[in-house]
Structure 1
């Protein structure tokens, strides 16, 4: 009876825990459909191999909180490290007669490791929860008899080599090392400039090789790394056609001996897929954006000159956590005064913001999808005359940039619209002397895609419906700039996340006020945090 009760309690507690987990992750059907969409782009008789992100060390025996590779998550839904996804362009059959078109390799179940670091899905749960028909542990990847040479092309992302050799024989280090050996991978094989020179050598008739060798020799001025390739160096310095013929033969034989792998094609395919968001993705991304906008709203009410940059950051991130956000999408930027002129300022250690403008560029990452929202507000609640003048130029520029976000428009059209308004406004204030003056007051582009990355992958071609981009013009006037000193240390950026639709742009982050008057009005309201006072600690 006691055993029965204990078992029942265990089942009930497990059920309760399951009930308390988020229910709005991407569905397994989404990930499967995305794999099919990639497969449709793959050439015949090809295989694509994806590796999970490495575990990155923070210091000593402490690692950073793990974050999955976006492409890997997009195609699998798996959040665990030390994993591999293999996708085939056509159906395959294993020795037991099982038919499949992809394989997911996951970490083996390990009670001791799970006691320290949490539960692992394992093979069976990966099948049911992630929707895979064929799942093996990573040890099977090490011993796999997949003949990569039998495929016309092997697709994978080039390796960053930012992973450690851990204690496990099936960690990412060993998974990648094994794969490199199986496909004959070496860094020199995939150097873009060496590939280009090899193509030229292969395509050149021997009777023309002397002139081509001279041309290739001139490349070494711009690309000195070519001098490290013995065959290219031999071709350049050859005494006659015979020696250059030997090099050409070597390259042709090398190509025949090595699998035909490609480290660039896959990036293009994934950019095309991830640029256009599905309805499921837009729901999560929109929630991330709205949460980020709410963070801006709450700090507008709570802001006062005695706050520190760190405290301001904390308010934003507290709001994120109240909504169940797992991570910040990128290191939070809170720059008061001159610190706002540093585009990616992340120290956030100024102890009092005083009466400065405070530039706040932060984004919540909700279930993998990252917002990117920036507001600039006066710490004391009221813009000075100079601050307001700069702010209004940036606002006007952003309005022009958002209006340019139409289906079919060139990706950089919003940038041109913003730059034109910035230049016009700076000229009117006397900060620049002509509309065509080269300056560094807006040193960055104003748009990028967002999604599973804050700077998400995409084609950067004409804008397409259901893509989401930022529009983030700014003006930054560091101390010592060639203008009247009254403008020095003013930094303003306004950034919103814009959904491209057939009916025009939709500002997903519009909840957070952008107009100067609206910001000042909101900053007069009380905040729930006004009464949150902690004892002083020396």
Structure 2
């Protein structure tokens, strides 16, 4: 293995006592520092973890999408600029007579670039605002990142993308990724699938090797390139368990680990701190108010995009910096498309309107869905389906507490929906169907589908409960049900004794929704001029 030795350099400038994150009402520099300390507790001795921030994404021509940092990177640093790398050491290391357990590499201050695209922190700003003393320019990464392979037992990172867009905006990131790959002799064929298969081989024994070989054979049918890997090929084609063990023993020990860091971050981010819960409360509260105000403003003849605009106006009015994900506003049959984001239906008539939206507040996103009748009243069929979904959600919320599993919540709601659909004559009793095609829950936080382990619920977890029924046009049932789509989604915090519905301010029952839709809207007097 090549040993490219990179020397360490530590800026000997003290962080200001008043170090803060970008948002004065967001997470503090001390909070992010504590998160890095918690990561070190999960890392084995004599190891390091390397995090690359997200690349810039081009929208069209010379316009880029609004930059959003990698959420693991933000979680650990609070840093929101591209072309950056974080290196976390498991223990303090002496470097030039200084002790350091972390380094961050950032882009330099550039007056011309900042005139066009906004102020950069630079190394001094990172030290002052984020409290990371080991701040270096990203141009120094190759020679000053401190990675000397012979000194470490493990190097943790994520699978490195091969398709970073070639552009001047990403040139520094690409250079750092390439330097890291050279230093670690990053294999050309290394990806999560390859790493998982290698782990399966390493964990096999005489009794399990045949089953593992069969599993790998199935993998290779889906990913034919796997058969070209000499280790995988030798293990699959070995004539006996004993010969498979020979292949296993001859595998070289890898310092580079692209799988374990994900589990570490899942463990950290799955349980929210009080600071995170405070930010999530704000994001959810704003999103729930959006649902309430749309219930008041919704009228027959409005468009999906107009409804979307009302939600997003309210988010911005409260100061939410972004959307947590593309807004889903689907009228009638459009609601049957789970990730419908076109929102281009111009005339909403007598039909249900499914609205799945979430404000992002200081990096944390809500995820709230309500389904309403655009004319203010559920008809008989709509009410029947809505009540089933509501009962399914209530069953899940009722059992959500420490120790409950996602599977139990899903099963409780699915049982009600299956029995209810059969009673309505939409399916036969016991029949499998696709009217409820998605899971009931996911973690919520910095990502709308946030990191977290699929384990029994624990105090501090925040997740969704979102059963749904979708009956597309042409379904194998009475046409009177066609085009009905209902999803109810709430954001649930697990407490020491049970749960709290953070989005409960947005009406959920048929009666509460219909009543809210009779109230006047603050937007009724807002009349814009006609445009030909």
The TM-score normalised by the length of structure 2 is 0.89
Instruction: Report the CA distance shift for 1:247/1:399 in structure 2 as closer, same or farther (over 3 A).
Output: closer
How far is 1:166 from its partner? Answer: 2.7
- 1:61-210 matches, within 5 Å, as 61-95=62-96, 97-144=97-144, 145-167=146-168, 171-190=172-191, 192-193=193-194, 196=197, 200=201
Instruction: Report the CA distance shift for 1:135/1:170 in structure 2 as closer, same or farther (over 3 A).
Output: farther
Instruction: Report the CA distance shift for 1:222/1:383 in structure 2 as closer, same or farther (over 3 A).
Output: closer
Instruction: Report the CA distance shift for 1:200/1:400 in structure 2 as closer, same or farther (over 3 A).
Output: closer
Partner of 1:405: 400
CA contact (8 A) 1:149 1:183 kept: no
Provide the rounded CA distance (Å) in 1 between the counterparts of 2:507 and 2:431: 32
Structure (1/2) with the larger helix percentage? 1
- 1:218-237 matches, within 5 Å, as 220-221=220-221, 224-230=224-230, 232-233=232-233
Instruction: Tell me which structure has the larger Cα radius of gyration.
Output: 1
Provide the rounded CA distance (Å) in 2 between the counterparts of 1:264 and 1:149: 21
Provide the rounded CA distance (Å) in 1 between the counterparts of 2:332 and 2:411: 27
How far is 1:420 from its partner? Answer: 1.0
Partner of 1:363: 358
How far is 1:94 from its partner? Answer: 1.4
Instruction: Report the CA distance shift for 1:162/1:479 in structure 2 as closer, same or farther (over 3 A).
Output: same
Partner of 1:451: 445
* Structure 1: stretches of 5+ with no match in the other structure: 1-20
RMSD: 2.8
CA contact (8 A) 1:28 1:77 kept: yes
Partner of 1:382: 377
Of the three residues 490, 493, 496, the one matched with 1:496 is 490
CA deviations on 1:49-78 (whole Å, 9 max, x unpaired) are: 001111001011110000011000000000
CA contact (8 A) 2:399 2:409 kept: yes
Provide the rounded CA distance (Å) in 2 between the counterparts of 1:245 and 1:387: 61
Provide the rounded CA distance (Å) in 2 between the counterparts of 1:25 and 1:457: 20
CA deviations on 1:124-181 (whole Å, 9 max, x unpaired) are: 1211210112111111112225313321000001123342233379621111111111
Mapped pair 1:28 → 2:29: yes
How far is 1:239 from its partner? Answer: 11
Provide the rounded CA distance (Å) in 2 between the counterparts of 1:176 and 1:486: 56
Partner of 2:14: none
Instruction: Report the CA distance shift for 1:432/1:158 in structure 2 as closer, same or farther (over 3 A).
Output: same
Partner of 1:531: 525
Partner of 1:353: 348
* DSSP-derived class of the 1:530 partner: coil
How far is 1:101 from its partner? Answer: 0.4
Instruction: Report the CA distance shift for 1:203/1:383 in structure 2 as closer, same or farther (over 3 A).
Output: closer
How far is 1:536 from its partner? Answer: 1.8
Of the three residues 330, 333, 340, the one matched with 1:338 is 333
* Structure 2: stretches of 5+ with no match in the other structure: 1-21
Provide the rounded CA distance (Å) in 2 between the counterparts of 1:451 and 1:128: 27
CA deviations on 1:397-443 (whole Å, 9 max, x unpaired) are: 11101112110111221111110111122122111221x21111111
Q: Could you list the runs of 4 or more consecutive aligned residues of structure 1 that deviate by over 4 angstroms after TM superposition?
A: 197-205, 210-223, 230-240, 243-249
How far is 1:531 from its partner? Answer: 1.4
